[in-house]
Chain A
Amino acid sequence: MPSFRFASHASRRGPLRSLVHAAAGLALAALAMPALANEPWQRLDAAQSLLGDSEPQTQGLTLDLPHVSEDGSSVPLTVIFDGELDEGDYIERIDLFANANPSPSIATFHLTPLGGKTEISTRVRLNETQQVIAIATSQQGERFATAREVRITVSGCLVRNGGEMPDSLSNPRVSIPSGLAAGEPGEVRTLINHPMETGLREDDDGNVVPRHIVERFSVSLNGDTVFEAELRQSVSANPYLRFFLAPQESGEVEFTWQDDSGETARHVAELDIT
């Protein structure tokens, strides 16, 4: 007769439980301590020169990235601001950095009150396991910072896109919301095919492939700029951007991509407010 044990209900492991609680208490205490001079953005020159002497707030800005990514050539990233700002103030700029990439600055986004909701997604290249940093600046100069570690198991530099490299600035794709009320934030998604050559990669013959990237993306509504992005080498091939617009009136939305050879692609769509 084997001796399998079944549970006896009355018993609880008292001493162990309180140990666990004590440990949880310590962890909470650690969280509540003021930030030491050891935040990832304090260790990155590019971020420091943006921040200057200002001490950013650490609540309100969130980066959403996978903890572990199996493909460093295209890591989905979302940055969200839902913190408190004074009446009339808004986030006008967000900078993204990858502290261990050959050139850490990933992108800079310029926003307007017509965004309605501060949430931007893109896909980025991460060379190795590292901290991704976001810094948001409000129109009145408030600063917010956040960072998130991402573990990369296959480097963004080694993986080439499967199949052929896309032609530059081909197949612009746009998805805009329909049936919005005036001032209601709606999701906009854009994608364009472009190799986003970093200037660091070698071809099969060992020659460096020259840098060739989309540098600027802008969106206007009835002629007024409502969203702009400065992109750098760490944005994945075929740049993807998702953001929000909260238009007050119907009109024409124009999307423009410009690459470093001066070429541009345009796409125009009609937006209807109900």
Chain B
Amino acid sequence: MRVRLRFTKYGKIRFTSHRDVARMWERAFRRADLPLAYSIGFSPRPKVSFGLALPTGAESDAEYLDIELDPLRTADDFEPSGLPARLSPMLPVGIDVTAVAPVESGADSLQHQITSCRWELAVTGVTEDELGVLITTALAADSLVIARERKGQTSEDDVRPAIVSATPIEAVDGYPALACVLATQPRTLRPAELLAALAGGVEEVRVRRTHQWITSRDGAPREPLPADATDAPLAPTLERVS
């Protein structure tokens, strides 16, 4: 059985990397004694697949993870809806499972399904008004070429097509802020790269991913979980460190 989980990354723990989070999950699955399916081979690995990496230091309302359960070891009456309560206590403060749903075994991987992400960015280096002007100018441009680096290779790319939307929002802790939807296909546009494209010396202070979208057949964006996914309320005792 394949199950998809949605989880958060808030507070101090946001300074851990994507790989760090993967290791926390592996330990959490073992602590919760979940009957994960294992790959075959010399060093069997649990079948877990993560979605798009979140930049180190960014917070998130919506991270996703798929796990494959071993049918032979899974009880007949196993209920995925019990997973958030079982897993959240095994994870560090700030990482909480907020929704869960079974997905079809043949479904595409998260990495392939996601087409865009929505972000909220608090920035410094500009006033709110200046930020508004920079956004309007950028959206009006036909092309926005920036130099960006990936795997040690620098390339000049037009990132304008990857900006699905961008709009100023209410300031966060006194910092000017914007919300944006950035494409992840064919290539991911990162929040830091959007700020580079805005130019004007805008620097990020806070980055939060609020949604990851997949494009459904009718072209409308939707969450990579079925509409009837079990929403788990956040644990009331969760202390928000920052």
- A and B, one complex? no
Residues in B lying within 8 Å of A, measured CB to CB: none
Residues in A lying within 8 Å of B, measured CB to CB: none
